[in-house]
Structure 1
C-alpha cells in the first residue's frame, strides 16, 4: 500500500546552504567542533551557528541570512574540507521547517532503521563500523543527541549484536536449515572481540577527542625534531636594570598609553637588536637555499584553552613599547576567546616563548618551523651572585634559552645572539641607542 504524506504548509522558505568558508593560506581541512543551533532553531543574520576547528584556530560560521536551521549535514566531529556542505537554512523571518512525512503503520518498521543509518558518523566510529561490518541502525548511541560514539561501536562489535547479516532477509524455505547455525555463529563473530576489548576505556578514565589544533601542534613540533638539527644554548640575565626601568616609568607609561609596561616588550626590542646583528637566526631553509629576512615579525607563544597558538607581531622593530604591549594584550584576550585569525599566526620569522609566567625555571624550547630560532624566557628568581668586586648580592636572575637550527646557525652565532640579548636587557639603554 502506498503511503501518502500529509500536505506540507504552502509557506516554503528559500534554502540557503551553510558551507565551510575559506580557512586561510595552506589550511584546507577542519573538524566540526560544536553546533550552537539545532534543527528548528531560529537564527539571525551573522549569528554564530557552529564552530569549526582547524589546525591553527577555532572559528565560527555565521548565518548568511535570517531564518531557521532546517538541517545539519555535518555532525560534530566530522572532518570537512573548504566548500563542503555543513547544513541548510530555511531563509526568511517566517521560515519554517517542513514536517517530515508520516509513515504508514505497515512501513514504520523499515523507516526507522533507514533514518538512523543515515546519521553522520565520526571518522573513528565509521572505521570501527566498517572493520567489524556493523549496521549503525542496530547500535544504540549514547552520545549527544543520540549520536553513536566509538565506545558504542566497540561494545556492539564485542557483543556481536549489530552485524549487517539481518535474518529477515533470509528466504522462508531456507529458514529451517539455518536453525542449527546459531551455535557456530557466536564462535565466528567472537573473533574480533579480543582485539576490540583492549580499546575499551577503563570506567575511571575520561576520553576527550583531540582537537585539530592540538593534533597539528603535535605534528609540527615532532616534525621540527625530526627535520632540524636542533640545539639549545643557555645564558642568564640579571634583571635588576630592567626592573628598575619598569618601576621608574610604569606609572607615567600606563597613564599616557593606558597599558602596563611589561618585560615582554623589552625582550622583543632586544631580540630585534640581536637579529639585525646576527641575521642567520632570522633566516630559514627553503629547499636548497637559505632565505635571509630583512624584516622582523616576532611570533609570541600564547596558551589558550584550545592549545598553543603563536600570533605574530609584524615589523616589531618599528613599533614603540606601548604598541607592542597593546598588541600582546589583544592577542592574549582573543586567544582565550578563540577569535584569532589564521593570517595573524602566519609568516613569523622568530619566536619568543615565556614559560616563566607558569613558573618554569629552565627549559629547551622546540623550534616553530620553518623558523630557525626560538627564545625561551623563564621565571625570575632571587639568587646569590658574585659581583665584579668580589662581594655577594641577591639579584633577580632569569635563565634564557635559544634553540636553533644548527644547519644554518653556527654555535658562535647562536651564543653571540644570546649574549647580545642579555646585554640589552641588563642595560636597556642599549636598545634605545642601537635599535
Structure 2
C-alpha cells in the first residue's frame, strides 16, 4: 500500500511553505510517528511525521517551495524493514581486515639494503610507496624517498623566504537562500517602517526594590512553583497596570477605525533556533506572578524546542522585548503589527544616582524604550505609559502587592 504524505496547513491564510529539512534519505525505512521533515511557513516551523511504517520516497527537495496539500513524500507500507545477518557481516568484515593487514605487512618489509638507507637517512617507512613485487619496498624506493625529502626541505626553505605580502589569503563567501520565515519577517519590518508613524520615547528605572524582593523570595518561589521569579512577571504586570491607565497604547488601527482592547494579551519576544518568536500570554490581567512565570516558561520551552504554534503567536495586544539578555544597553524596538506599541527592556547596569537631591548612591539602573505608532498614540500617552511602568517597578510593593510587605507571601502564593 502506498501512503501519500501531503503538506498540512500550518494555519489560516497560509497557502505556501518551504521544505526546511529532511531527517531521512530517499529509500530509508521509516516508522510510524517518526519525524521525517520540517517545513517553514512565513509564521512558524512545522514538523512532519511518518503516517505508517515503510520505505520512503522523497518527492520534494530541501529548500523548495510548495503549496499546502501538495505531496511531500510517499511511503510504501508493503516493504518491510530489512534484517541483516550480523554474524555473516562480522565474518566478512574480519576477512577484509585480515587481508588488508597481510598486504600492508608485505608492502612494509624492506630489503636489507633498504633498511640501511632508511636508518642512515632517518626516513619513516610509512612515507614510502613500495614498487617491488606485491608492494615490497626496494632499495630504489628508499633512494627516491631520500631525494624527495631533500628536495622538499629545500622547497620549504625557499618558501619560508617569500615575503609575507605575497602569501595567498582566502576570500571565500557563502550564499544561502533566506528561509520563508526570515523573508516574511523582512517584509513585515519594512512594512512597519513605511506604514506607521513610529516614534520612541525613553526613560530609566531603578531596579533595586525588585532586586530585594527576588533575592529574598526567589528560592522559596522556585521550590513552591517550579519556575524562577524573573523580571518578566514584574514588567508584565506593570504594563497591564499602565495599559489600563492609557488605553490607546492597547489599541490598533483597522482601516478608518480604532479598536481598543479591554483585555490584555501580552506578547513576549523570545529568541529560538529559527529566530525571534513572539508567543502570547493571554489575559495577563487575570494571572498572578506564578501564572505569568509558568506561562512564559511553557512558551519559551516550546519556542526553543521548535514546537510553538501559530495560534500561540497570534492575537497579542502589546509586546515586551528584552534586549538585555543579549547585553543591549539601549535600543529602539520595532512595533509588532498590528499592535501600536512595544516596550523594550535592557541590560541592568550599576550607575551613580542622586537620592533626595543630595546623596549619591550606586543603584542597578535599566533603560526603558517605548516605540509607538504616533497615528493613534500621542506623546502624552506614550510618556505617561512609560512613567507608569517606571513607578510600578520602583514601588512594586505599593502597586503590585497591595501596599504592604505583609501581603508578599500571599501575592507570590508562597
TM-score range for the pair, normalised by the shorter chain length: 0.7 to 0.9
Q: Offset of 1:203 from its aligned partner?
A: 5.4
Q: Does 1:27 find its partner at 2:14?
A: yes
Q: Report the alpha carbon displacement of residue 63 of structure 1 after superposing the two structures with TM.
A: 1.1
The Cα shift of 1:389 comes to 4.1
**1:357 and 2:357 equivalent?**
no
CA contact (8 A) 1:44 1:63 kept: yes
- CA–CA distance in structure 1, aligned partners of residues 392 and 357 of structure 2: 22
Which of 178, 183, 187 is the equivalent residue of 1:210? 178
Q: Pick closer, same or farther for the CA change 1:392–1:203 going to 2, 3 Å.
A: closer
Distance in 1, matches of 2:198 and 2:218, equals 38
**Aligned residue number for residue 304 of structure 2:** 336
Aligned residue pairs, count: 316
Check whether the contact 1:65–1:92 (CA below 8 A) recurs between aligned residues.
no
The match for 1:307 is: 275
Please state how far the C-alpha of 1:335 moved relative to its aligned partner: 1.6
Q: Does 1:87 align with 2:73?
A: yes
Residue 413 of structure 1 aligns to a residue in which SS? helix
Secondary structure of 2:383's aligned partner: helix
Q: Who wins on radius of gyration, i.e. which is larger? A: 2
Aligned residue number for residue 64 of structure 2:
78
Question: What secondary structure, in the 3-state scheme, does the structure 2 residue paired with 1:27 have?
Answer: coil
Determine which of 385, 395, 400 is the counterpart of 1:427. Answer: 395
- Residues 41 and 68 in structure 1, CA contact (< 8 A), matched pair in contact too: yes
Question: Which secondary structure state, in structure 2, belongs to the residue aligned with residue 380 of structure 1?
Answer: strand
User: Which residue does 2:28 correspond to in 1?
Assistant: 41
| C-alpha distance 203-32 of structure 1, shift in aligned 2 (>3 A) | farther
d(CA) in 2 for partners of 1:298, 1:26:
23
Query: What does residue 212 of structure 2 align with?
Result: 244
1:60 aligns with 2:47: yes
**Offset of 1:384 from its aligned partner?**
0.6
The equivalent of 2:358 in structure 1 is: 390
Q: Can you list the C-alpha shifts for 1:124-153, whole angstroms capped at 9, x where unaligned?
A: xxxxxxxxxxxxxxxxxxxxxxxxxxxxxx
Shift of 1:378: 0.4
1:294 to 241, 262, 285: 262
Distance 1:68 1:321 in 2: 50
Superposition deviation, residue 92 in structure 1: 4.7
Distance 1:95 1:396 in 2: 62
User: Are 1:211 and 1:306, in contact at CA under 8 Å, matched by a contact in 2?
Assistant: no
SS at match of 2:401: helix
In 1: Cα distance, 2:40 partner to 2:34 partner: 18
Equivalent residue for 1:266, pick from 225, 234, 255: 234
- By how many angstroms is 1:251 displaced? 1.7
CA distance in 2, matches of 1:64, 1:348: 34
Q: Give the deviation of 1:31 after TM superposition.
A: 0.5
Distance 1:38 1:383 in 2: 57
Query: Could you tell me which of 328, 331, 338 is aligned with 1:370?
Result: 338
- Against the structure 1 CA distance between its residues 203 and 384, is the aligned structure 2 distance closer, same or farther, given a 3 Å change threshold? closer
Question: Any idea what SS the aligned residue of 2:347 has?
Answer: coil
Q: Map 1:162-201 to 2 at 5 A.
A: none
Task: Give the corresponding residue for 1:104.
Answer: none
Q: Which residue of 1 aligns with 2:38?
A: 51
Per-residue Cα deviation, 1:145-188 (whole angstroms, up to 9, x for no partner): xxxxxxxxxxxxxxxxxxxxxxxxxxxxxxxxxxxxxxxxxxxx
Q: Which residue of 1 aligns with 2:166?
A: none
3-state DSSP class of the match of 1:433?
coil
SS at match of 2:262: coil
Work out whether residues 18 and 87 of structure 1, in 8 Å CA contact, stay in contact via their aligned partners in 2.
yes
CA distance in 2, matches of 1:257, 1:307: 29
Q: Distance in 2 between matches of 1:381 and 1:95?
A: 60
1:242-289 residue CA offsets vs partner (Å, 9 max, x unmatched): 111111211211111111100011100100111111111011101110
Question: Which of the numbers 319, 324, 327 marks the counterpart of 2:292?
Answer: 324
The residue that corresponds to 1:11 in the other structure is none
CA contact (8 A) 1:217 1:308 kept: no
Cα distance in structure 2, aligned partners of 1:263 and 1:376 = 13
Correspondence for 2:86: none
Distance 1:239 1:89 in 2: 58
